[in-house]
Amino acid sequence: MCYNAFDEVAFLRVISGIAKGRRLQAPKGLKTRPTADRVKEAVFNIISPFIGQARFLDLFAGSGGMGIEALSRGAKSVTFIEQDLAALKVIKANLDATGLGSQATVIKGDVFSVLANLKDEEFDLIYIDPPYNLKLGERILSELKTRNLPSANSMVMLEAMRKEEIKVDNLEKISVRQYGDTAVFFFKNS
């Protein structure tokens, strides 16, 4: 990832799949914290057996990098949820640049409000990347399960600070991977 908070726009890339090597924009400033390429690559190496024809939900989508990577690698569809207007414009520009927009749904709004409207719509892979300082992980995981959004045997991934403790009763924690100050928690819906 080539990111300078003072740049007009930062650039990321699609790591693998049909859009491999394509550059992706990220919103300027510090409001959005794009997932580092090494974290993205590690996550997709873990979930690669499950990506084909998966319905992917990208919460706090930011630049859309995780969902676009999923589409590039063969996901059936991706639903992006983002509240920030600048980030929404970047997601749409990135989808246009990669030609993957026909498989995407981009929803503007607060994640919790949008999840209430997605009730009973199932997703096979769910990636959650909330602002680290708000510690929303447990609340979002609980909300997902309450709304029946994870499909049977789906995988839910939560990106958080390494030192954060995540405890959830209604999903099975299967792994925690650490990358510097970042941790990705993997849960299974059983």
Look at residue 110 and tell me if it is in a domain: yes
Look at residue 4 and tell me if it is in a domain: no
Look at residue 131 and tell me if it is in a domain: yes
Look at residue 139 and tell me if it is in a domain: yes
Say what the alpha-carbon torsion angle 131, 60, 57, 26 is, to the nearest 10 degrees: -110
Report the phi/psi class of residue 43: left, alpha or beta, with left for phi > 0 and alpha for psi in -120 to 50. Answer: alpha
pTM: 0.90
CATH value at residue 180: 3.40.50.150
Look at residue 3 and tell me if it is in a domain: no
> Average of pLDDT values for 16-30?
87
Range of the domain at 53: 10-188
Look at residue 1 and tell me if it is in a domain: no
Under the banding of pLDDT at 50, 70 and 90, the label for residue 11 is low
Q: What percent of the chain has pLDDT over 70?
A: 91
Q: What percent of the chain has pLDDT over 90?
A: 71
Look at residue 84 and tell me if it is in a domain: yes
pLDDT digits (tens, 9 = 90+) for 30-58: 566 678 888 999 999 999 999 999 999 99
- What's the rounded Cα separation, in Å, for the pair 17 and 128? 22
Structural domain total, the chain: 1
Look at residue 5 and tell me if it is in a domain: no
